[in-house]
Amino acid sequence: MKEKPIKVGEIFEAEITGISHQGWGIGRIEGFTVFVPGSLVGEIVQAEIDQMKKNFAVAKLIRVIHESPYRMIPPCYVYDSCGGCQLQHARYEHQLEMKKKIVEDALRKIAQMPEVEVRPVLGMSHPWQYRNRIQLHVKIYHDQVELGFFKPGSHELISFRECLLVPDVFNHIRSFLQEELTTYKDSDNLSSLRHIVLKISAYTKEIAVIFVTSEKKFPLLPKLAQSLSGRFPEVVSVIQNIQKKESGVLFGPRWQHILGKEKLEDKIGNVLYSISPGSFIQVNPEQTLILYDQIRDFADLKGGETVLDVYCGMGSISLQMAEKAGQVIGIEEFPEAVKDADYNARLNGFNNVQFLAGKAEDLLPELAANGVNPQLLIVDPPRKGCDPAVLSAIAKMNPPKLIYVSCEPSTLARDLKTLGQHGYQMVTVQPVDMFGQTGHVETVVLLSHKKSQASSPSL
């Protein structure tokens, strides 16, 4: 085995020549790949090897010897330690260019589609204070309760006074709760408090606070809820979630209503959504509207079409399609999300929408056997992408038009390669910046089947 040209702890200088899918700069030492978070393409940096893997290393930036003209001083004082924002050191217009390159590189290297054209990223008017949700972890020290974020890849808590990606009221609530909980630091049950989740409706400006505990008994909570709602009138809902398992899953199956409303309401475009505490909704309301406008534009519904929405969640995209489609069928594995979707369809008066609970790879063949022939199929999978069995079922159903919504370029590219093998080709690739200051990017891809394209000039 060839010996690696560098070891952990060694300091080196290198030119940054590329960008990774996480937004990290890429340098090379004798051809060996080194990722340097916090660096930009074109810079010459000094860095120290922090982690050594089989085919690459990760280094800690020490100093920038030659700066990019796009570099700026990160405004967040815990930027270096928190790790939640990977791109605050880059001017926003350059962040959008970086994200376009990340999508292009994934399509070129993974999907093996070097000729595909990627549109410029649709950016934000104000790339700060955009998040409608925040998850705080809880740590109890000798004399203090701390609420903050975990450093990536660890359980090291990074406390903060102000996160620049959330509304000011979230920062005030965090400080208030930290002070309040510290007064109860000697309570026997306080150690069962794991996380606190804050959610805000962009439409009503109302806030829900969710306390995630390892035990059902948490006697401090009613009093804490009263103090919280008395100090912040915007807090209209306090919920307890019981998560006994120590896993990467935030919420457990059991919920307890403590105070106020059980659900928040939000609005995207013309559609109103009632949102259960555990339901997923996009974290950036302003860009969600832009994202959904793009999906509607790609769908180009004339009226009367049958639309399938796979991984539909609480029906957020399905209901956007329902305004023009003849029939919409949403598929979602989690029954609780399907209940929300059904409720939201009734809330908006849509009687042309049906939601099915189950795995897509099982339900798609059943729908096809029952004569369902969609003109449009939409997939919006989690970060890990589509299950291979889902892609196979889609190919057998063979809808003429497909829209793939992705929050992870690498799994998007992998799945597009598979869909290409089933006769689908990309028509348009449109990235949307849902996550300013971070390395994440949302992408909407319009695909058509080659056979249907030959018979449908509009595609």
The CATH number covering residue 355 comes to 3.40.50.150
Residue 274 counted as domain residue: no
pTM of the model: 0.93
How many domains does the chain contain in total? 3
In degrees, rounded to 5, the angle at the alpha carbon of residue 39 between the alpha carbons of residues 148 and 162 is 25
Is there a single domain that holds both residue 164 and residue 238?
A: yes
| Tokens standing for residue 99 | 């994200």
- DSSP 3-state percent helix, strand, coil across the chain (nearest 5): 25, 30, 40
Sheet arrangement for strand 11-15: 11-15, 44-52, 56-66, 32-36, 25-29, 18-19
Residue 299 counted as domain residue: yes
Residue 366 counted as domain residue: yes
CATH classification at residue 178:
2.40.50.1070
In degrees, rounded to 5, the angle at the alpha carbon of residue 158 between the alpha carbons of residues 67 and 40 is 15
Is there a single domain that holds both residue 193 and residue 54?
A: no
Is there a single domain that holds both residue 326 and residue 258?
A: no
pLDDT digits (tens, 9 = 90+) for 424-438: 999 999 999 999 999
Give the range of the structural domain holding residue 188, as residue numbers without chain letter: 133-264
Q: Which residues are catalytic?
A: 407
pLDDT digits (tens, 9 = 90+) for 384-412: 999 999 999 999 999 999 999 999 999 99
Is there a single domain that holds both residue 371 and residue 426?
A: yes
Residue 21 counted as domain residue: yes
Residue 171 counted as domain residue: yes
Is 105 among the annotated ligand-binding positions? Answer: no
Outline where DSSP puts E strands in 201-244: 207-213, 235-242
Largest CA distance in the chain: 72
Per-residue pLDDT of the chain (459 residues; tens, 9 = 90+): 567 888 999 999 999 999 998 899 999 999 999 999 999 999 999 999 999 998 999 999 999 999 999 999 999 999 988 888 999 999 999 999 999 999 999 999 999 988 889 999 999 999 999 999 999 999 988 778 999 999 887 888 998 999 999 999 999 999 999 999 998 877 777 889 999 999 999 999 999 999 999 999 999 999 999 999 999 999 999 999 999 988 778 999 999 999 999 999 999 999 999 999 998 899 999 999 999 999 999 999 999 999 999 999 999 999 999 999 999 999 999 998 999 999 999 999 999 999 999 999 999 999 999 999 999 999 999 999 999 999 999 999 999 999 999 999 999 999 999 999 999 999 999 999 999 999 999 999 999 998 755 444 333
Residue 414 counted as domain residue: yes
Rounded-to-integer distance, Cα 23 and Cα 290, Å: 23
Is 48 among the annotated ligand-binding positions? Answer: no
Residue ending a domain, choose from 236, 264, 292: 264
Is 311 among the annotated ligand-binding positions? Answer: yes
Is 362 among the annotated ligand-binding positions? Answer: no
Residue 89 counted as domain residue: no
